Amino acid sequence: MEHRLKLEKESSPTHSGRFQFFFKFYPRPWPNLKVLLVYNIDFSYYILMEPITIPKYIVPDFAKWIDFSYFDNVPILMIVFIVFSIIYFIVSCVLFYHWSRYGMKSSGVIIAEILYISVSLALFLFASLALSSY
């Protein structure tokens, strides 16, 4: 039987004042079982068998991925908002140019203009309020 042996770094005192060393075995045929050999200072030992839960996946360490301290910085959020607004304004100008130049002043284009402007203004207002209340 193949075993994975691990020696615990810390030894812990028992109630009787003697030290114990822990050896953990993870037997392969029973992957959900942890076998703990507890050695006393006089080399007598006993066995503890404990069920273990092996995680199906590794929980990622998000802190290493994104530095969330940036979000704590309101001026940076303001810069993001301003840059986004500028890009939004440029694309909106392109759309309005197309609608006025090629839309032939049709009812569909007029409705689209009204809808676009009103919803955009409302969303920008909500975004500003959210940012100011952060």
Partner 1 sequence: MNYSSLHLDFDENVILEVRKHWIVFFGNAIALLLGAVLPFIILAALKIFVPEILNNFLNMISLPGNTFALFTFIYILWILFLWIIFFVEWTKYYLDVWYVTEKRIIDVEQKRIFDREITNLRFDKIQDVTVDVHGFIPTMLNFGNIKVQTAGEDNTDFFMTMVRNPDEVRRIIFSQHNKIGDTSTRFAEQAAKAKAETEESQK
Q: Compute the distance between CA of residue 56 and CA of residue 25 in angstroms, rounded to an integer.
A: 20
Instruction: Quote the least distance from Cβ 110 to partner 1, whole Å.
Output: 11
Instruction: Quote the least distance from Cβ 31 to partner 1, whole Å.
Output: 19
Return the number of the residue (48 or 127) whose C-beta is nearest partner 1.
127
As a three-state string, the secondary structure of the chain is: CCCCEEECCCCEECCCCCEEEEEEECCCCCCCEEEEEEEECCCCEEEEEEECCCCCCCCCCHHHHCCHHHHHCHHHHHHHHHHHHHHHHHHHHHHHHHHHHHCCCCHHHHHHHHHHHHHHHHHHHHHHHHHHCC
Return the number of the residue (48 or 129) whose C-beta is nearest partner 1.
129
Return the number of the residue (43 or 65) whose C-beta is nearest partner 1.
65
Residue ranges in contact with partner 1 by CB under 8 A: 55, 57, 59-63, 68, 71-72, 77, 80-81, 84, 88, 91-92, 94-95, 98-99, 101-106, 108-109, 112, 116, 119-120, 123-124, 126-127, 130-131, 133-134
Instruction: Quote the least distance from Cβ 51 to partner 1, whole Å.
Output: 19
Instruction: Quote the least distance from Cβ 94 to partner 1, whole Å.
Output: 7
